[in-house]
Amino acid sequence: MGAWQRGDEQAFHELVEAYSGRVYALLTRFLGRAHPGREDLVQEVFLRVVKARARYTPSAQFSTWLYTIVWRICINETERDARRSVVSLDAPVLEDGAGLMLPDEVEMDPLEGVARADVIRTVRAAIAELPDAQRIAIVLARYHSLSFAEIAEVVGSSEKAIKSMIHRARETLRARLKPLFKREAI
């Protein structure tokens, strides 16, 4: 980011190359696979990076600053989705998790594949039901390996609050997924 601020235009392309996949993954985990326009939101994130180029100061890791932008876009999208929650009767109905990629699908027992897809779908649904702040905290901790301090900076909260938030999220997930654990033990 510093090189780009000093005029190295190639450095911006390297930032996009290095972080666009992570941004897309975070948007997907937060908004869900069925959310339309995630590619456009990735572009929106980097458009905001371009607009903030002159104001960026390296007080933390670049990824932390970038995830803060993603977090704000996710919150805006969630609010926008809530306002426009109109369902078209003509729209095709897709099962959540459609297009789900499972490892070794060819070699996997078909029943095992269905069961695994069901578990993944159930876990994703449970995560999607978490409050926004808990959802982003658990996703950043689990899937992006950010520290509590980095998550606190992204969310704009204290490290202690993030620890508590992640604990509550895990407890909520544990309670919601309890039937799944019982089923797995059978």
Query: pLDDT tens for residues 123-176?
Result: 878 888 888 888 888 888 887 888 899 899 888 889 999 999 999 999 998 888
Confirm if 23 and 74 have CB atoms less than 8 A apart: no
* Residues above pLDDT 90, as percent of the chain: 24
Mean pLDDT calculated for residue range 39-57:
90
Set out the domains of the chain in order of their start, with CATH numbers. 1-84 (1.10.1740.10), 103-186 (1.10.10.10)
Higher per-residue confidence, 16 vs 124: 16
Cα gap 22→27, rounded to integer Å? 9
Cα gap 125→180, rounded to integer Å? 13
Task: Please give the mean pLDDT across all residues of the chain.
Answer: 79
Residue 32 scores a pLDDT above 70 = yes
Residue 26 scores a pLDDT above 80 = yes
Q: What is the pLDDT of residue 136?
A: 87
Higher per-residue confidence, 10 vs 90: 10
